[in-house]
């Protein structure tokens, strides 16, 4: 197994690889096992989840933008971290960046983003009042559905974002976002219309349609309006 494969396996298992520092480390031959010298203190790997738990916004964003944990980093233009009010009462969570989001580095732009803005405006909110993020931070090729291993690698980033925002409500937009947040294969029709909970904090969560779907199926906007009214009621509790 070469060094690159070994590094990828360690990342997949949540193990931070120990590395020597300084010029001597750059000249030293690669070894399958960590080397500890008398002049350097030993360093133990820190599980990725525990490491992310202590990150503030700036450190978290830097880590996301430089993440290479899965193959999606190869074709991306840039990782899409999230935007909005970091102390928001509402957090909007979508599926993954599309082509325009990948280009601009911001979630929910283009026509779908405009419709989301209109949906928020209809209930008395604007884009600057909420925090918007995605389950995946990098665009899947050809906008395909996220793969389980990709979601698993990205999940700690989103969990930390939720922990930092501490929203009163999460609005999951679209089937993919809802199923991954709620750890279910239930269809969107069964997830809409009721209050769910997310994470250890049991953050209230409401499910609605993705704006891109509503652009293709405008007759469903009436149901989306019902979802938004439910979200208002849940957030007010």
pLDDT digits (tens, 9 = 90+) for 150-191: 999 999 999 999 999 999 999 999 999 999 999 999 999 999
Give the pLDDT band of residue 4 (cuts 50, 70, 90): low
Give the pLDDT band of residue 3 (cuts 50, 70, 90): low
Q: Does a structural domain hold residue 65?
A: no
**Distance, CA of 154 to CA of 138 (rounded, Å):** 9
Q: Does a structural domain hold residue 138?
A: yes
Give the pLDDT band of residue 143 (cuts 50, 70, 90): confident
Number of domains in the chain: 1
Whole domain around residue 89: which residue ranges?
81-236
Q: Does a structural domain hold residue 160?
A: yes
Residue 131 has pLDDT above 70, yes or no: yes
Q: Does a structural domain hold residue 45?
A: no
pLDDT of residue 197: 97
Asked if 72 and 154 touch (Cβ cutoff 8 Å), the reply is no
Higher-pLDDT residue of 5 and 35 is 5
**Distance, CA of 237 to CA of 233 (rounded, Å):** 7
Mean pLDDT of 15-23: 41
For residue 205, what are the contacts with CB-CB under 8 A and spacing of at least 6? Answer: 169, 170, 171, 172, 181, 182, 195, 196, 197, 198
Question: Count of CB atoms within 10 A of residue 166's CB?
Answer: 13
Radius of gyration of the chain (CA): 20
Cα atoms in the 13 Å half-sphere on the side-chain side of 4: 3
Give the pLDDT band of residue 97 (cuts 50, 70, 90): very high
Q: Does a structural domain hold residue 6?
A: no
In three-state secondary structure terms, 64 is: helix
For residue 4, what are the contacts with CB-CB under 8 A and spacing of at least 6? Answer: none
Mean pLDDT of 128-133: 97
Instruction: Express as a percent the part of the chain with pLDDT over 70.
Output: 79
Question: Would the pTM count as exceeding 0.85?
Answer: no
Mean pLDDT of 4-26: 42
pLDDT of residue 171: 98
- CA-to-CA dists, residue 89 to 116, 123, 162, angstroms: 17, 14, 11
Sign of CA dihedral 83, 96, 153, 204: positive
Residue 42 has pLDDT above 50, yes or no: no
* Paired tokens of 151: 């979601």
* CATH number, residue 138: 3.40.470.10
* Paired tokens of 109: 């732009």
Q: Does a structural domain hold residue 158?
A: yes
Sign of CA dihedral 210, 213, 218, 223: negative
Residue 33 has pLDDT above 60, yes or no: no
Q: What is the mean pLDDT of the chain?
A: 84
Give the pLDDT band of residue 24 (cuts 50, 70, 90): very low
Q: Does a structural domain hold residue 67?
A: no
Question: Count of CB atoms within 10 A of residue 228's CB?
Answer: 18
Q: Does a structural domain hold residue 167?
A: yes
């Amino acid at each position: 197994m070469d060094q690159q494969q070994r590094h990828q396996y360690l990342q997949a298992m949540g193990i931070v690889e120990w590395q020597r520092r300084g010029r001597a480390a750059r000249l030293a031959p690669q070894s399958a096992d960590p080397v500890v010298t008398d002049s350097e203190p030993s360093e133990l790997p820190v599980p990725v989840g525990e490491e992310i738990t202590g990150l503030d916004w700036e450190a978290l964003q830097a880590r996301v933008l430089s993440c290479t944990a899965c193959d999606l980093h190869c074709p991306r233009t840039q990782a899409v971290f999230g935007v909005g009010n970091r102390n928001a009462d509402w957090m909007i969570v979508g599926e993954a960046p599309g082509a325009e989001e990948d280009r601009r580095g911001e979630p929910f732009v283009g026509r779908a983003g405009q419709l989301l803005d209109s949906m928020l405006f209809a209930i008395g909110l604007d884009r600057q009042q909420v925090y918007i993020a995605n389950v995946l931070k990098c665009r899947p090729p050809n906008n395909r559905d996220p793969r389980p291993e990709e979601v698993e690698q990205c999940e700690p980033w989103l969990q930390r974002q939720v922990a930092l925002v501490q929203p009163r409500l999460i609005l999951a937009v679209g089937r993919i976002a809802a199923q991954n947040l709620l750890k279910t294969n239930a269809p969107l029709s069964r997830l809409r219309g009721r209050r769910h909970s997310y994470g250890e904090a049991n953050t209230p969560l409401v499910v609605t349609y993705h704006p891109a779907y509503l652009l293709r199926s405008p007759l469903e906007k009436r149901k989306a309006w019902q979802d938004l009214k439910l979200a208002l009621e849940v957030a007010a509790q």
